[in-house]
Structure 1
């Protein structure tokens, strides 16, 4: 028997998968919302309204329930309401991976001014690190800004790749952050002609250990994702299957070497490259330069050469396959944020998308300007109209 707010397809999803979903969402002085409180059930959330009404702002608020700078990658001091103090908050009561939880995050105003570091409180206690959010839910998103992912800079694809890894390996984000911190320290030491060699040896050893772990996690993700994409295609997905490969010094070598040997080789490369890196003012080799390259399997064509519509379809297929993979590994599916997802899909693909999302047993937030595009969602969705920073049900 279906539980309240549970659709038939969600009931048929993996019974071991915890139904992670938001039940309450409150925003204070966030973007164009001075105050907002929504009560939700586990069904998908469909937000419709005119451009500029605040649909993506609401989705961005949900994205701050995960580590990082959200789906727009905005600086924390830029998301407060215009005309406000700069302080802001996002609060949710959710059914999380380990049961109910109350989570709040944002910038706090003190007597000294608005703090610059985002704080996280979970069940009334301040979290030691922002990574604690991953213990309760995972968030994944697809936005119009990502439509040029395959043709844009490699840095955007690395961020996309690392967020996919983070969804199945919560320690990955910390490794990437620690590597970047160590790399900045090495760059500073190289700029100082009097820096002791043993200091450089120490930081390069640390970089090598972290870089090897980062490369291994990325390779594992791509391998698992490739299998998930094939399985999705065999199940009849209308979205073309993508072939993803990694390019990078460590990723290319990792399959042929044990971790300790790869650490030693990369540390040796760093030592050998000190002079050239000093001249360049940056580290020229490492996981911060890697890339994920995607091909359209049916056409045997690089994704970057495909049409805009084909690139979008490839990306949707990858995001859905990754969500299913994350559910299989974690035991619960990520909350999906799908911004303007239906606008450029034909009716067949829209219907298939809704069915595939529903079959994940997750809660998805979807936005659009035309409610009619979501008619196929039917009772599987809870519909809201967004207008000038206000949200009404129906």
Structure 2
């Protein structure tokens, strides 16, 4: 039995689930069904037990079942190192999302200390060939798993940068205003950079602990114009670049422009030049390394969510993935279109088949091949 496991999950008026109650025993859970049946909705509900907007990055108002739109609720019971904990989150009507931990109101950030969680979704399959924004979001999710204060630093940095950008768009040349904002940005920006660098180092080191043949990646943090590092360098870069930023109407350099580059180590190829299957395998390797590093540091393997995980993976790579999850001792929730995609998991996992009738999802327990 893992040191962290979700045992009960209840969905009320959530997406396609009018009401659903699930019981889990700590093993990985294989969830299958046709496209649109409501599999991903279960994973999305689980992802809301962690800080942020979940694996689809949806607003609270988007999660309520239609056409009722009366609000939604996700409740979970879990055991963490033998202690039972309860989490409840949801929203009524157009109200903002609430969080309760063990019956008491709590900020979303507090969820990180209760349910460490990592995930992989199909949108990430194009991570290495699309714009840097998606890679920054992926990097910051990894970073947040190690440093819960990373979200606070990012929000403070973004707020100060928006104010600086407003001055730039207005053509202001008031040095005092810029200096005050740049000092705040530099303080938080340096914290963001340090958190990211530490997270990348942890991920790289944890790749060596793989039990199977998942590929290792050489990761590098990059940024424009030499990527100024540290509070002093950031302050100097912004002060010296005000004329350039005034012309652009925005802040051109800083942590908000960072990028994560990856090289497929065995071939020496940038990830973006690898095959689709290799890109997916490398991405899986990083997510598994994230879970492995967290387990080594905290003694708790995080909950793992993997949506449509079999896409672009051959049978051998799927078996390796399932063996890796078993070696981690993780409670993983995996979705796919059919039970054959989970062949080899067998008694190591629970099975759920999800169906949909007239817009309402239902789930039934099944044996895993």
TM-score by length of 2: 0.93
Q: Does 1:219 align with 2:187?
A: no
Give CA deviations for 1:317-348 in whole Å, capped at 9, x if unaligned.
11111110111112211111111112432332
Tell me the residue number matched to 1:120: 99
Give unmatched runs, 5+ long, in structure 1: 1-5, 7-17, 255-261
Q: 90-99 or 240-249, which moves further after superposition?
A: 90-99
| Aligned partners of 1:98 and 1:136 also within 8 Å | no
Q: 1:250 to 1:100 in 2, by over 3 A?
A: farther
Q: Secondary structure at the match of 2:341?
A: helix
Distance 1:49 1:251 in 2: 48
Q: 147-156 or 279-288, which moves further after superposition?
A: 279-288
Distance 2:97 2:51 in 1: 10
Distance 2:322 2:328 in 1: 10
Distance 1:162 1:86 in 2: 33
The equivalent position to 1:24 in structure 2, one of 8, 13, 21, is: 8
| Aligned partners of 2:228 and 2:237 also within 8 Å | no
TM-score by length of 1: 0.88
The equivalent position to 1:239 in structure 2, one of 167, 192, 214, is: 214
The equivalent position to 1:268 in structure 2, one of 226, 236, 247, is: 236
Tell me the residue number matched to 2:250: 282
Q: 1:253 to 1:205 in 2, by over 3 A?
A: closer
The equivalent position to 1:205 in structure 2, one of 183, 192, 201, is: 183
Q: Secondary structure at the match of 1:376?
A: coil
Tell me the residue number matched to 2:62: 78
Tell me the residue number matched to 1:3: none
The equivalent position to 2:330 in structure 1, one of 347, 352, 362, is: 362
Tell me the residue number matched to 1:297: 265
Distance 1:266 1:343 in 2: 41
Distance 2:179 2:255 in 1: 19
Tell me the residue number matched to 2:364: 392
Give unmatched runs, 5+ long, in structure 2: none
Aligned length: 362
| Aligned partners of 1:250 and 1:287 also within 8 Å | no
Tell me the residue number matched to 2:291: 323
Give CA deviations for 1:208-227 in whole Å, capped at 9, x if unaligned.
01111111111111112111
Distance 1:86 1:159 in 2: 31
The equivalent position to 2:21 in structure 1, one of 31, 37, 40, is: 37
Give CA deviations for 1:67-101 in whole Å, capped at 9, x if unaligned.
11111112222121110225211110111368211
Q: Secondary structure at the match of 1:367?
A: strand
Tell me the residue number matched to 1:347: 315
Q: 289-298 or 198-207, which moves further after superposition?
A: 198-207
Q: Secondary structure at the match of 1:167?
A: helix
Q: 1:387 to 1:43 in 2, by over 3 A?
A: same
Tell me how far 1:250 sits from its aligned partner.
9.4
| Aligned partners of 1:30 and 1:80 also within 8 Å | yes
Q: 242-251 or 369-378, which moves further after superposition?
A: 242-251
Q: Report matched runs for 1:126-165 at 5 Å.
A: 126-127=105-106, 129-165=107-143
Say what the alpha-carbon RMSD is for the aligned residues: 1.8
Q: Secondary structure at the match of 1:90?
A: strand
| Aligned partners of 2:319 and 2:344 also within 8 Å | yes
Tell me the residue number matched to 1:258: none
| Aligned partners of 2:227 and 2:254 also within 8 Å | no
Distance 1:369 1:85 in 2: 28
Q: Secondary structure at the match of 1:298?
A: coil
